[in-house]
Each structure stands twice: as structure tokens, then as C-alpha cells.
Amino acid sequence: MNDREFLILRNILKQLKEADGMLCLGEHLQQDVSMATPRLMATEFDDGLRLADDRRLVTSVSSERGTKYKINDAGQAWLSENKL
Amino acid sequence: MARKDNSNSIASRLSRIELDAGRNAFDEVRDWLSIENMSYDDAVEKIEEEFKESTSTGALTNFFQKHCVGFKHKRARDLASDVRKVFEEDSECDFSQLTLQKIEQRAFEEAFAKDANIEELESLSRILGASAKLKLAQRKLELDIDKFRDATKSSIEKGLDALLQEIKGNPDSLALFEKLKASVMESVEGTSV
């Protein structure tokens, strides 16, 4: 993982941590991660979210409004390990 | 060791600009970015215009990450929790914990959205309130129908008893009466909802 990918993953997990147990819609998550990450491209966000999902750092739930995400224990641990 | 605050950061400079009602420029800019979803370019211009402070989109990105993310989420969570409380405390709404959780989640999503539609949230509340009232009205109607059925049944039974007294001793009439009674009772019970 390069620095940019690390930054995006970190911002995704930090956003979800702030939701404090509530599920975040993918599009809302993207809006805020874009605000917190300079010049974020949609594909970079998608890759970051896929990375978080593949590493089982987030829990995703499909709904009629779109996929929703929540940070799980592994995601919380990842943030702690990285002192974030 | 505590991290030294950068007194030249945009957050520090805005904090030093006092506004009305105990607010300062920091609160104002945080609201622009978190609640009004103002773009960084517009915010840079507006900060220059209103507070005579120069900044950049990069500095505002840091500002957003450090001061707006938590604020925005807390605000959305508080609003969602308030909406849940309204339904929890409304005696007309007897929602299960699962339904209340769904209401809270939906309210959080609406409050968090960039194009947050408070009207949608209000109409959702109205629909939920209306559905609770409809459930109560339906229950009342069921009780009324039960009362009506009991009253009808009892008056028919009285009539049948009187008829039975009159035809006592006539076997043909009694056989016919039993058929009639069975048919009437079946018809009364069959009309129940």
C-alpha cells in the first residue's frame, strides 16, 4: 500500500469511526472522504473502500438506498495500531 | 507531550475573530463546511471577504479533517437520537426497538446527506405518526365490530329461545327449528370480520 492509498483508507475508517455505530451510505461516505482528501478521484475512493472491505475492516450491508458501511472491531484496531 | 497548537493555522486565526452571540469566525466557517456544504473555493473567497484572512483549499482540507468531521457526525447522531426520542416518548406510537432503530438510522442518513432533505424527514415522521394512528383506529373498529356481533348474536338468541318456547311439543317444528337455528348462527358467525 502506498502513502496515497494509506491516506484514503485512513480517511474512510476515520469517517466511519465518527459515525459511532451508525451505518453510512456509500455516497455520503464518499462526499466526506472527498472533502478530507485532496483531489480524490471516484476510482481512488472505490479502491479504498474495496481495500477496507477485502481486509475485513468494515461491515457492509446492502439496502434499497445503496450499500451502507460501518467500521468493525478490526477497523478500530487498524486505526489504533496506526495511532490514529 | 501535548502537541503545540499552530497559532498561525487558519483555525487559530479564525478563533481569534469574535462575532455576535458568543460565536467566532471558527464556528462560522465550521458551519459553512459541515452544514451548508460550501465548496473550498467558495469558502476561501468568503473567508477573505468577511474575515480578511487569506487561506487555501489545502488548509481548509486540514481544517475539515480536524474540526468538521467529528462535529458533523455528532450533529447528525444527536439529531437522529432526538427523532428517535420523539417516537419513543409518543404514547400513540408503540414501535418496537427494531423500528425505532430503523427510524434513527434513517434520520441519521438524512441529517448526514450533503443534500439533506429535512422535509423528507418531516414527512417520514408524519407517515409514521399517521400509521400509528391508523393502527389505533383499526383496533377500535375491530372492537366495535366485536361488540356489534355480540349484541346481534344475543338478540337473535333471545328470539330463537322465544320461538322454541312456542313450538315445544311439536317434533316436526322442532326439527325445522334446529335447522333454522344452525343456519342463522352460522350466518351470524360467518359475517364476523
Which pLDDT tens digit goes with each residue over B69-102? Answer: 899 899 888 888 888 888 888 776 677 888 888 8
* Comparison of pLDDT for B180 and B3, the residue scoring more: B180
User: How does DSSP classify residue B36?
Assistant: S
β-bridge partners, B18: B24
Q: What global pTM score does this model have?
A: 0.67
- The helix, strand and coil proportions of chain B, stated in percent and rounded to the nearest 5, come to 75, 0, 25
Residue B129, min C-alpha distance to chain A (Å): 22
What's the pLDDT at B1? 45
Query: Residue B180 above 50 pLDDT?
Result: yes
Query: Residue B120 above 70 pLDDT?
Result: no
What's the pLDDT at B107? 86
Give the percent of chain B with pLDDT over 90: 15
ipTM score here? 0.84
What's the pLDDT at B136? 64
* Comparison of pLDDT for B73 and B6, the residue scoring more: B73
Contact B112 A18 (CB under 8 A): no
* Alpha-carbon span B92 to B89, nearest angstrom: 9
* Alpha-carbon span B126 to B59, nearest angstrom: 42
* Alpha-carbon span B32 to B175, nearest angstrom: 88
Confidence class for position B176, pLDDT limits 50, 70, 90: confident
Confidence class for position B121, pLDDT limits 50, 70, 90: low
Residues from chain A that touch B113, judged by Cβ atoms under 8 A, are: 25, 28
- Mean pLDDT across A32-47: 92
Q: Hey, is B133 helix, strand or coil?
A: helix
What's the pLDDT at B193? 43
Residues from chain B that touch A22, judged by Cβ atoms under 8 A, are: 76-77, 80, 104-105, 108
What's the pLDDT at B173? 79
What's the pLDDT at A50? 95
User: Does any CB of chain B come closer than 8 Å to the CB of residue A61?
Assistant: no
* Alpha-carbon span A35 to B117, nearest angstrom: 20
Query: Residue B186 above 90 pLDDT?
Result: no
Residues from chain A that touch B40, judged by Cβ atoms under 8 A, are: 35
Cα distances (Å, whole numbers) of residue B88 to A74, B119, B136: 33, 21, 16
Confidence class for position A65, pLDDT limits 50, 70, 90: confident
